[in-house]
């Protein structure tokens, strides 16, 4: 099994990032752990947000890509959008793929999309046991390593998904016929866990 991506983005998010990059040059995203805009992904011109030594690089979004595509070479310049999270927050969310999306409304922070009348939203998809096992064997890049020039290679898995539903599909749960004799709807109020949204 190939190592899954820790971050992906919807088509809407990639389109917005492209527009912002056209105006502002190279970008970066930091998944906020609180303060101004709650737990929102914040978009800045690259280097305008100081990445800490122990911040974790979730991945680098490639603005050259469309749904389902990969390229053999990593992105650079304005095509490259590194996505960061604090080390302590990463420990809580390392079992979850962050799916960057866009929704209507204005955030309260300093993120570049604020004047657009939309805001970035982080959705989450919980990794499977097999994905977690593969990720456990793969080292992350820390802020101090990035500062010294360490860069990840090109992603071998697609990073752009059509929409939030494609990126955060709710798992299908088996029928409960064997327990209740009445199918999956027999247990009142019981549903499978929804895709989380940060």
Q: Three-state SS string across 120-172, please? A: EEEEEEECCHHHHHHHHCCCCEEHHHHHCCCCCCCCCCCCEECCHHHHCCCCC
What is d(CA 185, CA 194) in angstroms, rounded to the nearest whole number?
Answer: 16
Structure confidence at residue 32 as a pLDDT band (50, 70, 90): confident
Q: What percent of the chain has pLDDT over 90?
A: 66
Question: pLDDT tens across 96-113, in order?
Answer: 999 999 999 887 678 999
Mean pLDDT to the nearest integer, 154-171: 84
**Closest residue by Cα to residue 87 from 58, 63, 122:** 58
Hey, is 119 helix, strand or coil?
A: strand
pTM of the model: 0.83
Q: What is the mean pLDDT of the chain?
A: 84
What is d(CA 189, CA 170) in angstroms, rounded to the nearest whole number?
Answer: 17
What is d(CA 197, CA 123) in angstroms, rounded to the nearest whole number?
Answer: 4
Instruction: Count the neighbouring beta carbons within 10 Å of the beta carbon of residue 169.
Output: 11
The pLDDT score that the predictor gives to residue 9 is: 96
Question: pLDDT tens across 164-178, in order?
Answer: 888 876 555 565 554
The pLDDT score that the predictor gives to residue 166 is: 82
CA atoms 81, 144, 51, 126: torsion sign: positive
């Amino acid at each position: 099994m190939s190592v899954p991506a820790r971050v992906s983005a919807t088509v809407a998010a990639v389109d917005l990032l492209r527009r912002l990059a056209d105006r502002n040059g190279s970008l970066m995203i930091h998944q906020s752990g609180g303060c101004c805009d709650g737990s929102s992904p914040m978009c800045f011109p690259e280097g305008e947000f100081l990445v800490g030594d122990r911040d974790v690089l979730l991945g680098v979004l490639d603005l050259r890509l469309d749904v389902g595509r990969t390229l053999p070479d990593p992105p650079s310049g304005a095509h490259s959008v590194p996505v960061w999270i604090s080390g302590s927050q990463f420990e809580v969310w390392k079992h979850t793929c962050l799916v960057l999306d866009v929704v209507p409304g204005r955030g309260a922070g300093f993120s570049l999309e604020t004047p657009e009348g939309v805001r970035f939203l982080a959705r989450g998809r919980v990794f499977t046991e097999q994905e977690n096992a593969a990720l456990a064997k793969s080292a992350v890049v820390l802020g101090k390593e990035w500062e010294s020039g360490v860069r990840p290679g090109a992603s071998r898995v697609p990073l752009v998904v059509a929409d939030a539903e494609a990126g955060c599909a709710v798992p299908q749960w088996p029928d409960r016929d064997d327990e209740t004799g009445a199918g999956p709807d027999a247990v009142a109020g019981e549903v499978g866990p929804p895709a989380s949204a940060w």
